[in-house]
Structure 1
């Protein structure tokens, strides 16, 4: 609203208002200048401390929510692992379970002799192998159990297990050879096994037939 000046007396209040307005504006300018000087000083101190700084180029981006990974059934896997290991005994007597041929082959009830002959002749292609060389008894038992279980779960039909001929063992006796046979006959996934042919490892390996092939 514009004031009407009627006399010189009316100019005094107006002059005071103008002076107060100018003083307030000047005070605001000084406040902003002081803030800028402080910011410049802090920036110089930072540069002297860490060296020259190049501002990063600002890039507009969209942040997406990351999908949470599926929970891993670790407890169930641990339970299955424990069951697999507990199921294999070193004390089982397998002499009556092995066929009394030159290689002491094995076939489960219901598996014909012809299946064993085919297995020995290499009728089924090898689809997997486990080498137990250098493993101690417990480690070998665990590795064999998990290998047979996993191979059957993946649908493998014929695999080879290398237990060695014992040339590097004390007394040159094959430490794992008998144990591997004992462990295999206890695995429900195993239908039959025979000693490997010479080209496949001979007396140091077994060819194992898994469920679903006979």
Structure 2
């Protein structure tokens, strides 16, 4: 820069006061800001869903052991008859609603899953199926959508039982669900 340019710049900046230390942003990380925005959006959607459908309220502090790609899912509340559980395992029922989560991110899948369960409960459906896949494309050792499905279903009070589907219906890549009547 020439001396004239420096003098001109100094004259233009003469009445400028520096920012206080507390008002400065040290660094701006675009990826971090995007992730923070996504978390806030996901949390607000979850809260909205929980207000309209309190039976879908999840306890995020509750920890479940992760399931692997080839692990079978099985859950039932107290009092569910063995006959009903066997119907779920064998697929001996008419599927009243089906949700396929393939191709969704964990956040998208959670929103779809909660909406699907809320609709099924509102319609008083009894037997539903969710296809979560086997997790072959998951980046870690555990199938993300299968574990999400397992966690959400175990915490949803109207879900009284669920089981991995029979091989003809998707095997360990799908889950049959029995809802409270």
Using the size of structure 2 for normalisation, the TM-score is 0.63
Deviation of residue 140 (structure 1)? Answer: 1.2
Does 2:152 align with 1:183?
Answer: yes
Equivalent in the alignment of 1:48? none
Equivalent in the alignment of 1:105? 74
Deviations 1:71-107 (Å, cap 9, x if unpaired)?
xxxxxxx975243498224542346xxxxxx724000
Deviation of residue 113 (structure 1)? Answer: 2.5
Structure 2: 5+ residue stretches without partners: 1-45, 66-70
Greater gyration radius:
1
Structure 1: 5+ residue stretches without partners: 1-77, 96-101
More contact order relative to length (CA 8 Å, sep ≥ 6)? 2
Superposed counterparts of 1:144-159, under 5 Å: 144-159=113-128
Deviations 1:32-54 (Å, cap 9, x if unpaired)?
xxxxxxxxxxxxxxxxxxxxxxx
User: Which consecutive segments of 4 or more residues in structure 1 shift more than 4 A?
Assistant: none
Deviation of residue 112 (structure 1)? Answer: 2.4
How many residues are treated as equivalent by the alignment?
A: 131
Does 2:58 align with 1:88?
Answer: yes
Deviations 1:165-184 (Å, cap 9, x if unpaired)?
11122246411112211100
Using the size of structure 1 for normalisation, the TM-score is 0.54
Equivalent in the alignment of 1:127? 96
CA RMSD of aligned residues (A): 2.8
Superposed counterparts of 1:56-75, under 5 Å: none
- State the distance in 1 between where 2:61 and 2:168 align: 32
Deviation of residue 122 (structure 1)? Answer: 2.1
